[in-house]
Each structure stands twice: as structure tokens, then as C-alpha cells.
Amino acid sequence: MAVEHGASALGLVSDMPSGPGVIAEDLIAEIAASIPPPIESVLLTSKHHAEAIIEQQRRTRVSAIQIVDRLERGGYVRRERSREDGRRVDLRLTPAGVRIKRQQNVLEPELVEAMLERLDRDRQRQALAGLELLADAARDMIASGNLNRFLRGGAK
């Protein structure tokens, strides 16, 4: 359904210490196999060791892996022990994580398409050229490591 509505990636949650949304690896593999290119299948994992992550990717056949620890180190999420069940650890978005989530909503493909439809052809070309420039700048910021610092409220 998400792919039919213009999603560029589909996130799949596996093997978390707790929380909703966890999917069994065999179902993840089935879903990942059904996603048409160029749509990415992104696995969110809490595994720590490279060998375990590699084996999990081999079992699930996803096209990308997102590791919870990196999100935590990047300042986007924090882990909290559940007060109701001490065995459970919940993930909470930090202010930087909330900013990222809000920014993603602004660039949802359906919303961008609806906004572009309101413009004449010349302004559509200008808008798309501007988006390409911003994408280039974002890739540069990611490569330099400045994007993470900026999103956490640090140096620009």
C-alpha cells in the first residue's frame, strides 16, 4: 500500500528489545522480496555485532539496514526502561528526532506533487531545480558529518 502511494522506502522493524511493530524475520523476507525496485526495504535492527547484522540481512534480504545504536548516538532517539515492565525498553524520539520526523512530513511525495500541481510549468521547473540543489547540499552535509551536528542543534 505504501509503495502504491509513492513511498521511496519501506521500513521494517525486527528483533527489538521491546515495543510495537516488530515483525518476524520470515515475514520481513517475504515483504522485502515483494517490494519492486527502486523502492528500498529498510530493516531497523538492534543487533550490535557486524556478523549478526550481516546474517540478519542475508536472512531477510533487505536493501538497507538502520541500526538503533546509531540513531541513539546521533541524538535522534533515547532508550527508556519501562516503568510498567522492567524487562521492556522503549525508544523515544529526542527533539532532534522530532525535527527529522516533521521535516520528512513536509517532503512526502504526495504533498510535494500536490504543491507542484499548483505551480505553472516554469515555476515547477524552478522548484524542482531548487530541490535538486538542496539534495546536493544534503548529500554534502551527510558526507562531512555536519548534518548530524546540525540536527542535534550544534554547529551549522
Taking the C-alpha atoms of residue 93 and residue 64, their distance in angstroms, rounded to an integer, is 21
Residues in contact with 90: Cβ distance below 8 Å, sequence separation at least 6, in sequence order: 18, 19, 79, 80, 81, 82
The domain that contains 42 carries what CATH number?
A: 3.20.20.70
The reply to whether 75 falls in a domain is yes
Instruction: Give residue 124's pLDDT.
Output: 93
Which class for 76: exposed (0-12), middle (13-18), buried (19 or more C-beta within 10 A)?
A: buried
pLDDT in tens, 108-153: 677 788 889 999 999 999 998 998 888 788 778 777 777 666 665 6
Residue 156 has pLDDT above 70, yes or no: no
Q: What angle do CA 132, 133, 136 make, to 5 degrees?
A: 85
The reply to whether 21 falls in a domain is yes
User: What is the number of domains present in the chain?
Assistant: 1
The reply to whether 70 falls in a domain is yes
Q: pTM score, two decimals?
A: 0.46
The reply to whether 154 falls in a domain is no
- The CA–CA distances, whole Å, from 121 to 116, 117, 125 equal 9, 9, 6
